[in-house]
Amino acid sequence: MAKAILALALTTLPAAQALNVARNPNFAKLQGGYLFPEIGRRRNAFVAANPDKADKIISLGIGDTTKPIPEHILSGLVEGATKLGTQAGYTGYGSEAGNGALRERIAESCYAGTGISAEEVFVSDGAKCDIARLQIMFGPGVTSAVQDPSYPVYVDTSVMMGQTGTVNEKGQFDNLVYMNCAAENNFFPNLDEVPRADVYYFCSPNNPTGAVATKAQLEALVARALKDGSILVFDAAYAPFIRTEGVPTSIFEIPGAEKCAIEVNSLSKYAGFTGARLGWTVVPNALEYSDGSKVRDDFNRVMTTCFNGASNVIQSGAMACFSDKGKKEIDELIDYYLGNAKILQGLAEDLGLDYCGGDDSPYIFVDLKGKSSWDTFSTILEECQVVTIPGAGFGPGGEGYLRFSAFAPREACEEARRRIGKIDIFKGQ
């Protein structure tokens, strides 16, 4: 009977009929899904298996902001939406590179004194999307270098574009340069050991390690890029979290960077725009490929062809972010998240574990004393109902670490500290 039903089902199901189109072989090289949806799947699987514990779950996982957007910035968003309902205020397509006034304001607010001008600022829907667009521009022919561990998008987009081989026995992609940035290097690469690459991706304050590069370190990076004639893609998405005097908040504070660096940035993490979507990328006019053509012109071609501008509503909110009132509101949001970071530093101390980050950055990267990061992720999810991110998800160099995000609500951070502080997996080590 069961067999008969199965036979019936098989005959009524449409036959799977593969197309005569070959899959892009670069996609077969990618390992599993993108990291953060994978974390969500594991969380959901836990909830499905333990529905009674669903209410207890706390997320210190994905770096997703949780505080509402403050009043003045919000008024910019609401006004941006409202005026679309009037004939005088309605706007359709804007420049694919962003409204001129916003580009001016970003240049003034973030790059005063560096020589960066508004026409070098490209406004977008976020830093992640801009990294993908930079990769479309670079194409398959370049060699890229990434920090290890690093934000997964640099690696995954390099693979998608065909710049790399497949994963080798070290868990690294062939033809991709890994710059070790874990504890043994004090979370900054030993540049003498790094082979030349065409494009170096570097993020400071760092995701996931929370490390913040000093001025001297950034000078060394820029000097290296200039010596190699390479491009340094600097991810400054967490720059306003820097509170220590003298630490640069833009790569363009380093002389010479305007000849080798591209900077990506975003309002996501400090204006609460993770869902609203607004970022930008600075491509200086002075950057030229070896044939003398301007890098900026090719990036402009990508922006105009593959993108249609950030939402006009959200650009209106962004204008408010760069006003005096908006900047004050952003400072208060950052104060709050850095307060959370202190609590999570305390959690690492409770556990007797070394950590990096949390002073000028919203991530705390905890050294698990040799324990597996995916196993520890699972233990903490099962025993404490706290979602974290395993360091190994950020590359082989992240194995043995766990990332806590300070973007959770204050009470969640305190409760996570109480719960995780009680587990005994690190005791006696």
Q: Does residue number 190 form part of the binding site for a second copy (CB under 8 A)?
A: no
Cα→Cα distances 64→75, 224, 276, 363, Å: 22, 34, 12, 12
Residue 372-411 contact track with a second copy, rule CB under 8 A, x = bound = -----------------------------------x----
Q: Does residue number 215 form part of the binding site for a second copy (CB under 8 A)?
A: no
What is the chain's percent helix, strand, coil content, to nearest 5?
45, 15, 40
Read out DSSP for 123-153? EES-HHHHHHHHHHHH-TT--EEEEES--HH
From candidates 29, 42, 259, 342, binder to a second copy by CB under 8 A: 259
For residues 184 and 200, give the distance between their C-alpha atoms in angstroms, rounded to a whole number.
20
Q: Return the range that interacts with a second copy (CB under 8 A); candidates 71-79, 166-174, 187-195, 243-251.
A: 71-79
Closest listed residue to residue 133, CA positions, set 363, 366, 305, 355: 305
Crossing angle, helix 312-321 and helix 71-82, to 10 degrees?
A: 150
Q: Does residue number 165 form part of the binding site for a second copy (CB under 8 A)?
A: no
Residues binding a second copy: what is the number (CB under 8 A)?
A: 103
For residues 356 and 211, give the distance between their C-alpha atoms in angstroms, rounded to a whole number.
6
- Considering only residues 230 to 249 of the shown chain, the ones binding a second copy according to CB under 8 A are 230-231
From candidates 185, 274, 372, 378, binder to a second copy by CB under 8 A: 274
- Considering only residues 283 to 302 of the shown chain, the ones binding a second copy according to CB under 8 A are 286-293, 295, 298, 300-302
- Considering only residues 21 to 50 of the shown chain, the ones binding a second copy according to CB under 8 A are 21-28, 30, 33-34, 36-37
From candidates 7, 53, 54, 89, binder to a second copy by CB under 8 A: 89
Q: 232 - beta bridge partners?
A: 200, 261
Alpha helices in 147-294 (DSSP H): 152-160, 215-228, 268-271
- Cβ at position 353, least distance to a second copy in Å: 28
Q: Does residue number 255 form part of the binding site for a second copy (CB under 8 A)?
A: no
- Considering only residues 303 to 322 of the shown chain, the ones binding a second copy according to CB under 8 A are 304-314, 317
Instruction: Name the pairing type of β-strands 231-235 and 261-266.
Output: parallel
Q: 321 — phi, psi (to 5°)? A: -60, -35
From candidates 195, 229, 339, 352, binder to a second copy by CB under 8 A: 229
- Cβ at position 315, least distance to a second copy in Å: 9
- Considering only residues 340 to 379 of the shown chain, the ones binding a second copy according to CB under 8 A are none
For residues 282 and 127, give the distance between their C-alpha atoms in angstroms, rounded to a whole number.
11
Nearest residue (CB) to a second copy, 237 versus 353: 237
Structure tokens at 131: 């990294």
